[in-house]
Amino acid sequence: MSTSSVTTAAGKRVYVLGDIHGCVAETEAMLNYLVSSEALTKEDLVLFLGDYIDRGAESNQVLDLLIGFKKSWPLTRFLKGNHEDMMLDFLGFGGKLGSAYLYNGGLETIQSYGLSVFAPADEMIAAIPDSHLEFLKALDSILVVGNFICVHAGLDPMVGLDDQVDSNILWIREEFIGVEHDFGKTIIFGHTPHKDILRHLPYKIGLDTGLVFGHKLSCLELTSGAVFEVAKDSSKVEAKGKIKL
């Protein structure tokens, strides 16, 4: 487990996006909206909470989109989700629960590369672009941004920030979601889908709004509390007001 901090210039914005799960059109619509309607600058931070792949049909295209976006917006940061961790383990690069990968949405990811799920691991690795593998291996675990802790699934409320383990960072649910904590910052997380943004302030905000399950992709700007959403199978991003953070 590694924790790093991001320092942003005063007044600069921080956009955090929830789980994508292989849905490229809605993700592209959201990013295009931020660039155009929000006039994204090179000093703004865009942060993704993990689970870019699996379940949806376009994981290959999603990774291409995200890698290309970071080239244009270099402050962009990416957290590791449990699905990226499973994929890495499945391919032999370390991680956990690779044996369960195909049954947890990995089948769609492998097929998005034009591969059979019966192909040997070395054939899969050869077919996946090096840039995708490098992206997966370089994902962050926890990012502290000002008054916020950003993580994929959550944190163990009974353990200090520096003592968190990957099994909780990537997988925790009930033990974290329904509990108040003493980390002194608001935790921004994904992983557990809800129909709408989960608000349990000042403790936590959940941004996985079930895009791949037919709901929507959500984005929260941490400076103003502004919320943006794009519904599944839509290219229209809507500004949904503000959360008082």
Domains delineated in the chain: 3-242 (3.60.21.10)
Summary mean pLDDT of the chain = 95
Of the candidates 19, 9, 86, the one whose C-alpha atom is nearest the C-alpha of residue 44 is 9
- Residue 109 is inside which H or E element, if any? helix 106-112
How does pLDDT run across 180-195, given as a tens digit for each residue?
A: 999 999 999 999 999 9
Does the pLDDT of residue 1 top 70, yes or no?
no
How does pLDDT run across 60-85, given as a tens digit for each residue?
A: 999 999 999 999 999 999 999 999 99
Of the candidates 1, 2, 16, the one whose C-alpha atom is nearest the C-alpha of residue 145 is 16
How does pLDDT run across 8-51, given as a tens digit for each residue?
A: 655 699 999 999 999 999 999 999 999 999 999 999 999 999 99
Q: What is the mean pLDDT of residues 196-225?
A: 98
Q: What is the mean pLDDT of residues 232-245?
A: 97
Q: How much is the pLDDT for 14?
A: 97
Contact 59, 53 (CB under 8 A): yes
